[in-house]
């Protein structure tokens, strides 16, 4: 089985993916900013500021997966943090490629991560496909630069695939844990008019698509990684309340309140588009979690 190096493997999705790939029989290593000796996964360190990189990470590596990046909504979007969000993605990939191109390594496949925010944070009835152009807001700009940083791998002859992820739902995902906490305390509510779409994917399908892309050498280019059900914020809130046996007691949260609390990043909650997944399904991938209710029920079972 191919040996795999995951850049940013110590993040939430990286851990989910490591469990899946290890179960599939792969040997998995991590490329991280700081080694955690308590985690039983071989780890190699890099430093963007010092431009240091442990080239041993590339030895015997057959496939690279890039998950590196500072959290999009973890902090207020100051000018400095916006640049950090972009640099933590783009410059990490550039550093990897610089070191990869210096040696005689056997890397044959590269899977890059992006997000459906590529299409822009807008709410409309259009269903976006991989052929559509990117939006013009900050998230779209970030995704555009993120994806451009993968082109060097493709031009070097490495099979390159880019997955535009929706919000990943799992028992340990921030999206699920934060929402669940609010609804359990009867503080959950619909955001704005609730019509904004919420492209999502269950963690098992997210990991499944990465695994699928690794196994199928015919998979090249960009693919949306979102579930079938295109739910609105209203539907998400109502479904989560239902699976938790709660009622939505509070009125909808006005957009201006979120803008005061979160600043510019509030747009990630107040706007959202519909995104198609037919292209990845055409490659033979079958989703395990196609409806939000089934996905949330599974997240709840994992927590107990």
Q: Which CATH superfamily is domain 3-303 in?
A: NAD(P)-binding Rossmann-like Domain (3.40.50.720)
Angle between helices 12-23 and 203-215 (to 10 degrees): 50
- How far is the first Cα of the chain from the last one, in angstroms, to the nearest whole number? 34
Domain borders along the chain are 3-303
Secondary structure in 3-state letters for 63-115: EEEECCCCCCCCCCCCHHHHHHHHHHHHHHHHHHHHHHHHCCCCCCEEEEEEE
Nearest to 240 by CA among 174, 151, 177: 177
Secondary structure in 3-state letters for 233-288: HHHHHHHHHHHCCCCCCCCCECHHHHHHHHHHHHHHHHCCCEECCHHHHCCCCCCC
**Tens digit of pLDDT per residue, the chain (304 long)?**
789 999 999 999 999 999 999 999 999 999 999 999 999 999 999 999 999 999 999 999 999 999 999 999 889 999 999 999 999 999 999 999 999 999 999 999 999 999 999 999 999 989 999 999 999 999 999 999 999 999 999 999 999 999 999 999 999 999 999 999 999 999 999 999 999 999 999 999 999 999 999 999 999 999 999 999 999 999 999 999 999 999 999 999 999 999 999 999 999 999 999 999 999 999 999 999 999 999 999 999 875 5
Phi-psi category of residue 25: left, alpha or beta, with phi > 0 → left and psi -120 to 50 → alpha = left
């Amino acid at each position: 089985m191919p040996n795999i190096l995951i850049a940013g493997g110590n993040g939430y999705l990286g851990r989910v993916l490591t469990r899946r790939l290890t179960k599939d029989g792969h040997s998995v290593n991590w490329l991280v900013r700081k080694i955690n000796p308590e985690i039983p996964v071989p780890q190699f360190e890099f430093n963007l500021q010092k431009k240091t990189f442990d080239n041993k990470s590339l030895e015997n590596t057959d496939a690279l997966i890039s998950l590196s990046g500072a959290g999009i909504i973890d902090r207020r979007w100051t000018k400095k943090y916006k640049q950090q969000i972009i640099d933590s993605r783009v410059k990490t990939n550039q550093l990897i490629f610089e070191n990869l191109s210096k040696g005689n390594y056997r890397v044959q496949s590269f899977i890059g991560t992006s997000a459906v925010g590529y299409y822009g944070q807008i709410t409309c009835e259009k269903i976006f496909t991989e052929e559509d152009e990117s939006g013009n807001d900050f998230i779209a700009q970030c995704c555009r630069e993120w994806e451009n940083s993968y082109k060097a791998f493709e031009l070097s002859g490495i099979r390159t695939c880019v997955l535009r992820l929706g919000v990943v739902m799992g028992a340990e995902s921030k999206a699920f844990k934060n929402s669940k906490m609010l609804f359990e305390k009867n503080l959950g509510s619909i955001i704005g008019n609730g019509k904004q779409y919420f492209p999502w994917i269950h963690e098992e399908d997210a990991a499944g698509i990465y695994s699928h892309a690794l196994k199928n050498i015919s998979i090249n280019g960009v693919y949306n990684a979102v579930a079938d059900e295109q739910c609105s914020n209203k539907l998400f809130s109502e479904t989560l309340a239902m699976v938790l046996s709660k009622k939505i007691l509070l009125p909808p949260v006005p957009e201006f309140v979120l803008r005061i609390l979160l600043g510019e990043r509030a747009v990630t909650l107040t706007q959202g588009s519909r995104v198609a997944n037919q292209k990845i399904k055409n490659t033979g991938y079958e989703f395990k979690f196609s409806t939000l209710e089934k996905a949330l029920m599974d997240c709840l079972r994992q927590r107990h």
